[in-house]
Structure 1
Amino acid sequence: MIHTRFILIAAAAILAGAVAFASPDEWRGEWPKTDFGRSAVDFREILSGGPPKDGIPALDDPRMIPVGRETRLADTEPVLVLELSGQPAHAWPIRYLTWHEIVNDQVGGTPVAVTFCPLCNAAMIFDRRLGGQVLSFGVTGKLRNSDLIMYDRQTESWWQQALGEGIVGKMTGKQLKQLPGWMESWGSFRARNPDGIVMDQPDWPRSYGRNPYVGYDSASQPFLYRGENPPHGIPPLSRVVRVGQRAWPLERVARAGALTEAGVTISWTKGQASALDSGRIAQGKDVGNVRVRDASSGRDVVHDVVFAFVFQAFHPKGKWMIGN
């Protein structure tokens, strides 16, 4: 069964395309502090995703617990991971990010925004420091190319999650630094990091562990996306590994097990469940674990594992690494 949010989005799109579109005249009542005179995008590209401002509640300073105390997560469940030098490895379960999308947290002395857009499978971690201040982020309820639009609480500027870029308001054109985080299975993280820490279950009435986007990554088209589909016959909701302006089809990486191209080594191992497949996240189809490292130094490299349409939409001049 498709989640109610999908039904509402689809109904809005079917009844009238204009219903989903909005404009600054309609937004100002909800966003009186946002400077709509500054923008890097066409406002017609911004759609209402259904929930209002903060209708999807971001989290702040979550409780973290030792790996050994976590008993809720199945080994196959995906977590978003960050390993910074001198700090214990951190993991944020996707079962919580699915319902909150943004976590404002701190790793040692680094304030981070841990983000997940289910409609894009985009799991990205950003440094919240910018221009001498520390930003905190919330969810606008708006989408562009089906991707989460965040806002900072300091200026109420809007940010494109897939790019880490300010697109509306005072922060237009500003760029957040993406950190080299990645998604992997809880079992893999736990085995490698017995001294690591993991985000504890939030105190919100949510069905954590349940996937409200059942079957989404098997759909033929993404919701509220009107852009071009990927080339080379690549299905729009297949996964790709994006590194900078290049994208490797996940299917190709999985077949090879490891690829070294364009200065990076991309490896794949089985064992991570898709968060966007079955009704229970832990029971999702196996999409595997991906690590991307610098081919020379072995250091982790900033990357994303996103749906192919996301790369096409936000990196239209990028290179598709489809092999021979």
Structure 2
Amino acid sequence: MAIRSILSIALIWLGSFVAADPEQWQRQWPHTDFSRTNVRDWAEILSGGPPRDGIPALSNPEFIRVGKERGIGPREPVITVEMTGQVARAYPLRYLTWHEIVNDRIGGVPVAVTFCPLCNSAMTFDRRTAAGVLEFGVSGKLRNSDMIMFDRETESWWQQAIGQGIVGEMTGVTLKTLPSWMESWQEFVERNPDGLVMAEPGYNRAYGRNPYRGYDSSARPFLYNGEMPPHGISPLARVVRVGTRAWPLQRLAELGELREGGVVISWRAGQASALDSGQIGKGRDVGSIRVRDRRGRDLAHDVMFAFAYHAFWPDGRWMLGGE
């Protein structure tokens, strides 16, 4: 579906929008404690269209060796997770675009690999909490255009971009973010010739097709009515977020590598945008980012749209150069 079609549906939906009402949600979410929340205004939470589990999260996916994979294009983006002592794993966006959450286990670590197309946010979390190991699903609701996840154990709601519980028993709990990054399939294979890649899920989906065609070149975000980013930065420009700071991707692409504020960020051409053309592998080149500390250790980070960074870190620091 092209972005024009998506926006048309949104306008129809917004025309019939009824103010957010936890009493109505309670019928669909009988085990969610709506009396516990850090959301200041329920109107911030909107329906993204699909109902609860309408976008089916995956659990315990199958993997194959990279040498047996034949369907992924060299420029297609994957989310890479590399853990000490474990075989590197690639989670292709051709699958995450349609499922958004993968509940997996790498060695002894239960992880949730997540991707919110509307914010271009790809985050990997440790699923262990004081309440036990959680399994996450897609609620079908959005806040600041970002996916709201839910856990099946307490049915609490979680904000994907910040990895924090926002409604229910787990309100205020923050998941540990694990280092992971988006890169091209070719980059992953070159570095990990014996690595693993998630096998195609057994769902009837047009894997490899981009249902958000043209989204990252549109003028405004989908289902977002918050404040736009400052400094004249386009709301759908990509930024590299490390902690509470954000570096415009364009600045990094021009420099190639940047050493600033205790981090080393490198940029390499060759990764297709998953939100550009109708086929993910044919998207324009946005390049790949790697974020490390001064000792060369990978750091948790995100490459997200500027509007989403500003929405969740309104007091964050924009790293524009000349600091």
TM-score between both structures, scaled by the size of structure 2: 0.97
Please give the residue correspondences for 1:154-169 in structure 2 after superposition, counting only pairs within 5 Å: 154-169=153-168
Opposite residue 313 of structure 1, the aligned amino acid is A
Aligned to 2:262: 263
Distance 1:56 1:5, change over 3 A: farther
Mapped to 2, the partners of 1:7 and 1:182 lie a distance apart of 32
Q: 2:25 aligns with which of 23, 27, 38?
A: 27
Q: Does 1:122 align with 2:153?
A: no
Q: Does 1:307 align with 2:305?
A: yes
Mapped to 1, the partners of 2:11 and 2:247 lie a distance apart of 30
Mapped to 2, the partners of 1:28 and 1:177 lie a distance apart of 28
Please give the residue correspondences for 1:34-53 in structure 2 after superposition, counting only pairs within 5 Å: 34-41=32-39, 42-53=41-52
Please give the residue correspondences for 1:165-180 in structure 2 after superposition, counting only pairs within 5 Å: 165-180=164-179
- Three-state SS of the structure 2 residue aligned to 1:39 is coil
Mapped to 2, the partners of 1:3 and 1:136 lie a distance apart of 34
- Three-state SS of the structure 1 residue aligned to 2:3 is coil
Mapped to 1, the partners of 2:88 and 2:274 lie a distance apart of 22
1:2 deviation in Å?
Answer: 3.0
Provide Cα deviations, 1:220-268, integer angstroms capped at 9, x if missing partner.
1101111111111000000000000100000000000000000001000
1:27 deviation in Å?
Answer: 0.6
1:22 deviation in Å?
Answer: 2.3
- Three-state SS of the structure 2 residue aligned to 1:267 is strand
- Three-state SS of the structure 2 residue aligned to 1:68 is helix
Q: Structure 2: any 5+ residue segments left out of the alignment? A: none
- Three-state SS of the structure 2 residue aligned to 1:75 is coil
Aligned to 2:233: 234
1:5 deviation in Å?
Answer: 4.5
Aligned to 2:108: 109
Aligned to 1:291: 290
The more displaced of 125-134 and 283-292 is 125-134
1:7 deviation in Å?
Answer: 3.1
- Three-state SS of the structure 1 residue aligned to 2:187 is helix
Mapped to 1, the partners of 2:50 and 2:4 lie a distance apart of 14
Runs of 4+ more than 6 Å apart: none
Mapped to 2, the partners of 1:35 and 1:199 lie a distance apart of 35
- Three-state SS of the structure 2 residue aligned to 1:73 is coil
Opposite residue 38 of structure 1, the aligned amino acid is R
Asked if 2 retains the 8 angstrom alpha-carbon contact of 1:5 and 1:50, the reply is no
Q: Does 1:2 align with 2:3?
A: yes
Opposite residue 60 of structure 2, the aligned amino acid is D
- Three-state SS of the structure 2 residue aligned to 1:29 is helix
Opposite residue 292 of structure 1, the aligned amino acid is V
Aligned to 1:202: 201
- Three-state SS of the structure 1 residue aligned to 2:27 is coil
**How many residues get paired?**
320
Aligned to 2:316: 318
Provide Cα deviations, 1:1-54, integer angstroms capped at 9, x if missing partner.
3375443223212x25x34x4211111111000000101002111001111100
Aligned to 2:141: 142
Aligned to 2:76: 77
Mapped to 2, the partners of 1:51 and 1:174 lie a distance apart of 26
- Three-state SS of the structure 1 residue aligned to 2:85 is coil
Mapped to 1, the partners of 2:43 and 2:286 lie a distance apart of 34
1:205 deviation in Å?
Answer: 0.2
Asked if 2 retains the 8 angstrom alpha-carbon contact of 1:76 and 1:185, the reply is yes
Q: Does 1:220 align with 2:219?
A: yes
- Three-state SS of the structure 2 residue aligned to 1:282 is helix
Asked if 2 retains the 8 angstrom alpha-carbon contact of 1:77 and 1:281, the reply is yes
Q: Structure 1: any 5+ residue segments left out of the alignment? A: none
Asked if 2 retains the 8 angstrom alpha-carbon contact of 1:22 and 1:48, the reply is no
The more displaced of 21-30 and 205-214 is 21-30
Opposite residue 241 of structure 2, the aligned amino acid is R
Opposite residue 10 of structure 1, the aligned amino acid is L
Mapped to 1, the partners of 2:44 and 2:194 lie a distance apart of 45
Indicate the percent of aligned positions where both proteins have the same amino acid.
Answer: 62
Distance 1:112 1:257, change over 3 A: same
Mapped to 2, the partners of 1:6 and 1:193 lie a distance apart of 39
Mapped to 2, the partners of 1:57 and 1:246 lie a distance apart of 32
